Amino acid sequence: MSPVWYAAGVGARRGWTELRQTFTTGQDVFGYALWTVLLIVPMYLVRDDQLKGAGISAGAFMLPSMLGMTLAFTGMMTTAQLLATEREDGTLLRAKAVPHGVIGHLVGKIVMVSGTALVSMVLALAAGVFLVEDVARQGGEAWLTLGWVVPLGLLATLPVGAVIGSLVDSPRTVGLLMLPVMGLVAISGIYFPLSKLPEWLQTVGQIFPVYWLGLGLRSALLPADAVAAEIGESWRHLETAGVLGGWAVAGLLLAPAVLRRMARRESGAAMAERHRKAMQRVT
């Protein structure tokens, strides 16, 4: 086995261990439960409001859309937050000291973040199907669609999070990025159909993977008649695969180069300087 593959295997095992630990930590479990509640409450409140022309309720439309948002949000922002935090506290510097340690560390983060994203999605879906009608009633075809939309969505967003986490100076900078991300969510057809927005906002929303993740999950989990609420009254599976695949390819090509650059710049002096600036902000 090559050293790189060995490091990746070690990283995968470490990621699996971290994933198990997070689900045995009370604070983390509370966070997952709270996120599920925050997703479900808005859908429950509009469960009886009918979406004009689509034959479903607004709550039914929002459920798969929010599942897509969960995957995208976790893939991008959680990955970025973890990398930025571990860069600041010296974890990445210690990983750098081990042969191919940065690769193993990144693989571990991918396993851990993917696991938390999938669990968060499953929890929200499990609660939503009991509270909102007309969702997840499509049988085997729905599972086939989920089988390619979900992995492709993670591939489209995880590398983006790795790039962001490698470029920002601190975890606080990642927190500031939450505002533009929430703005992106607002124009991605999560809370209402994108077809209801002006055409220029529709164009902007369709550039990013959040909309396409939501569309792919809606095509899997909603009745066929619900397509009337979508742009062009089509689920656009080919376009969904193309855009998500494009983001995945671009991210997988860019992320390793950015990560290698970040790893080369990591040093004890750089970490000490970040700590000094952090202490100045506190005082």
Tens of pLDDT along 124-152?
888 888 888 777 666 667 788 989 999 99
Say whether 204 sits in a helix, a strand or coil: helix
Q: Extract long-range pairs of 253-257: CB within 8 Å, 24+ residues apart.
A: 254/159, 254/163, 255/159, 255/160, 255/162, 255/163, 255/166
Residues 242-271 have a mean pLDDT of 80
What predicted TM-score, i.e. pTM, was given to this entire model? 0.87
The answer to whether the Cα torsion of 276, 164, 86, 270 is positive or negative is negative
Least confident of 66-70, 101-105, 146-150, 188-192: 101-105
CA distance 35 to 269: 38
The answer to whether the Cα torsion of 124, 195, 248, 86 is positive or negative is negative
Least confident of 103-117, 191-205, 214-228, 264-278: 264-278
* pLDDT band at residue 282 using 50, 70 and 90 as cut-offs: low
Q: What number of helices (H) and strands (E) belong to the chain?
A: 13, 2
Domain range annotation of the chain? 3-266
Task: Determine what percent of the chain is predicted with pLDDT higher than 70.
Answer: 90
> Is residue 8 pLDDT above 60, yes or no?
yes
Residues 102-118 have a mean pLDDT of 85
Question: 53 forms bridges with which residues in the sheet?
Answer: none
